[in-house]
A and B are shown apart, each in its own frame.
Chain A
Amino acid sequence: MTFFDHLPVLAVLLPAFTAMLLLLVGDGDAQRVWVRRIALASVLLGAVFAVALVALAGTGVLTVYRLGEWPAPFGIVLVVDRLSALMVALTSAVVVPVLIYASGGWDSHGRHFHALLQFQLMGLNGAFLTGDLFNLFVFFEVLLIASYVLMTHGLGRERLRAGTHYVVLNLAASALFLLGMALLYGVTGTLNLADLAVRVPRVPAPEAALLQAGALLLLVVFGFKAALVPLALWLPATYAAASAPVAALFAIMTKVGVYAIWRVHGVIFGADAGASAFTVQPLLLPLALATCVVGVLGALAAHTLPRLIAWLTVASVGTIVAAIGLFGAAAWSAAMYYLVNSTLVIAGLFLLAELVASQRGPMADRLEPCSPVKQPVILGLLLLLAAASNAGLPPLPGFVGKLMLLQASSGHPWAVAVWAVVLVVGFFTLVGLARAGSVLFWAVRPEVPSGSSGASPKLLLAPMALLGMSVLLSVMAAPVQRYTAAAALQLSDRDAYARAVLPELGGPAADSARPYRLPQPQPLPRGPQPGGQP
């Protein structure tokens, strides 16, 4: 095996070992310079790995990495397809600017910020790369445990209160995750995603009901992580209370939920799933459209800038999930394109919000007239760019993504609703952000002292990098769109996925995913044996 064969696992191991190294180096003021350098070098190397993964997946090859060389349904595999490589690259694209921004001072407001960020990165990369449902749960927990601590980074009463809610809600969701996963295992006898994709269609009608119950439980969990209505209300409270770099990092965390919905409900319980086909289709699209509407209403009602952006996160998740709910390669391609852009823009907006707030004197991030911003031109232009991209104005990538979505929805029975919601939500997003911008930059009270000397170039660099990548997404729209279109086709091809992960498919081993043969001439009857008898 060459070095490059180990790329999938390196993307997970690099942050893990960096985190341990950072814990060993320590957290004092004396070591901070070195901690920042090590962390930055590590995420830059991780970005190189991510680009290599995208290049690898871009050739159309499904790379399967067998951990410990155990064959697929028995051992855990990491699978790199176009979508997972794209998500890993997007994670890197968000983490690098966030790390640079946090190195501007936020990392000294609490302990072990950089180590926790690396653990979170490990969880994110692992969740995107794994090909096993239980392993997905474990990586979910890794990224959540890191996020619990990052969420309360900097402490303070409000942060701790919101943090407690966040932790308790996520622990309850984890319990539901285990229940849904156990139901899937109980019926199919496997948790490997490729093996599930093979076995779920074979489950006949009466037992499929149990399977679908498991799938719907998982929808609750993933919908909660993704902040889908009616489980979206935790997000604005949490993100608005978190410190700015953490909130920007969390922009990618909702996408883990979206990604899991895609893999499990879009593919395994999607088309060609036999009696369980399209289990969540009647729910997904209406819920997603409701999420858009609720998100934008929240944005219009928000009193502070971070809360406004958090509600826009909810609205953008609604748009992505609506595209997933349309179930088609064209719509999924649109969803991927829009996902990449909205994540970058929202992360950039969270960072911008803090820069603006720090220059407004006593009102800070509240949307009320106060002292003029010290650097109105650069911050105002960046905010305008982000707002236009988020609302979907041409020629920015938000517009391209929404256009792709609208095109893909034509002919669908819900096309009218999708068009109406996407366009109206885009308009009101613009209204909300324009209102915020005019209060922040124009409705000023020059007599109030600002008390700020302006943001340092290092702090400005981070949102500029994020928004610059978003603009680049528009400039490079054609190649990116080719990639996402191919990714959507690859994602919906469940047979190719199963063939790549389970090479012995069709052989005798395919009949039993359980790692043992029953030594009887005939297999045991299905269902529970009378077990309680002595």
Chain B
Amino acid sequence: MLLSMEFLMASGIGLVTASGIYLLLRGRTFPVVLGLTMLGYGVNVFIFVMGRLWSAAPPILTAGPNVADPLPQALVLTAIVIGFATTGFVIELALRSRHDGGSDHVDGKPDAHGRQAHGAGDGR
């Protein structure tokens, strides 16, 4: 089989993580938050895959021959919850920083080249 599930998962995780890192290195807070979210997705799928890829294997004991490892699924659930909460916090912090500092640049640099600031709602 040319395109195995393993290849698909591995390259998918790699692509999502690479996109996340690229966005994380951007200068404005919005892409940075998006990058953190994408990185989180990549990491979550990675943890899930560490229980190995099974098909038709339930994560509970049954009479069937195959049982999938349930622990990574539980770990992913915890990681998703924590990731969600921290993303919410970082969005709030970025908004606050943008309001107090007057710029959405991560280093607080003023908007150069007359670039329109994000967030049209605050009357700029």
User: Which residues of A approach B to under 8 Å, CB–CB?
Assistant: 134, 138, 141, 145, 148-149, 152, 155-157, 160-161, 163-165, 167-168, 171-172, 174-175, 178-179, 181-183, 185-186, 189, 514-516, 518-520, 524, 527-534
Knowing that A149-B89, A168-B106 are A-B contacts, what are 20 other residue pairs whose CB atoms are under 8 Å apart, sorted by A's residue number?
A141-B82, A141-B86, A145-B85, A161-B97, A161-B101, A164-B29, A172-B36, A172-B39, A174-B86, A179-B46, A182-B72, A182-B75, A183-B50, A185-B50, A516-B61, A516-B67, A527-B52, A529-B52, A532-B6, A532-B55
Interchain CB contact under 8 A, A160 and B93: yes
Interchain CB contact under 8 A, B6 and A528: yes
User: Which residues of B approach A to under 8 Å, CB–CB?
Assistant: 1, 4-6, 8, 24, 29, 32, 36, 39-40, 42-44, 46-47, 50-55, 61, 63, 65-67, 69-72, 75, 78-79, 82, 85-86, 89-90, 93-94, 96-97, 100-101, 106-108
Interchain CB contact under 8 A, B43 and A152: no
Chain B residues within 8 Å of A174, by CB: 82, 86
Interchain CB contact under 8 A, B108 and A157: yes
Chain B residues within 8 Å of A529, by CB: 52-54, 66
CA–CA, A531 and B5, complex, Å: 7
Given A138-B78, A157-B101, are A186 and B89 also a contact pair (CB < 8 Å)?
no
Least distance between B1 CB and chain A CB atoms (Å): 7
CA–CA, A524 and B66, complex, Å: 9
CA–CA, A188 and B46, complex, Å: 16
Interchain CB contact under 8 A, B72 and A163: no
Chain A residues within 8 Å of B43, by CB: 175, 178-179, 182
Least distance between A164 CB and chain B CB atoms (Å): 5
Interchain CB contact under 8 A, A163 and B67: no
CA–CA, A149 and B5, complex, Å: 42
Partner of B69, one of A181, A514, A534: A514
7 A-B pairs with the lowest CB-CB distances in the bound complex, closest first:
A532-B5, A531-B53, A186-B50, A182-B47, A160-B97, A182-B50, A161-B108
Interchain CB contact under 8 A, B93 and A152: yes
CA–CA, A326 and B58, complex, Å: 47
Interchain CB contact under 8 A, B6 and A148: no
Complex: chain B residue closest to A528, CB-CB: B52
CA–CA, A155 and B92, complex, Å: 13
Least distance between B25 CB and chain A CB atoms (Å): 10
Complex: chain A residue closest to B65, CB-CB: A520
CA–CA, A274 and B81, complex, Å: 36
Mostly, the A contact residues are helix
Complex: chain A residue closest to B64, CB-CB: A519
CA–CA, A482 and B65, complex, Å: 55
Interchain CB contact under 8 A, A164 and B65: no
Complex: chain A residue closest to B44, CB-CB: A178
17 A-B contact pairs sorted by A residue (CB < 8 Å): A134-B78, A148-B93, A155-B96, A164-B93, A164-B94, A168-B24, A172-B36, A174-B86, A175-B36, A182-B47, A182-B75, A514-B71, A519-B67, A520-B65, A528-B53, A529-B66, A533-B1
Interchain CB contact under 8 A, A534 and B55: yes
Given A165-B106, A531-B52, A531-B54, are A178 and B101 also a contact pair (CB < 8 Å)?
no
Least distance between A526 CB and chain B CB atoms (Å): 10
Given A518-B67, A532-B4, are A160 and B100 also a contact pair (CB < 8 Å)?
yes
Most B CB atoms within 10 A — which of A157, A520, A532? A532
Chain A residues within 8 Å of B106, by CB: 164-165, 168
Chain B residues within 8 Å of A179, by CB: 43, 46
Interchain CB contact under 8 A, A138 and B82: yes
Chain A residues within 8 Å of B29, by CB: 164
CA–CA, A79 and B108, complex, Å: 44
Least distance between A221 CB and chain B CB atoms (Å): 12
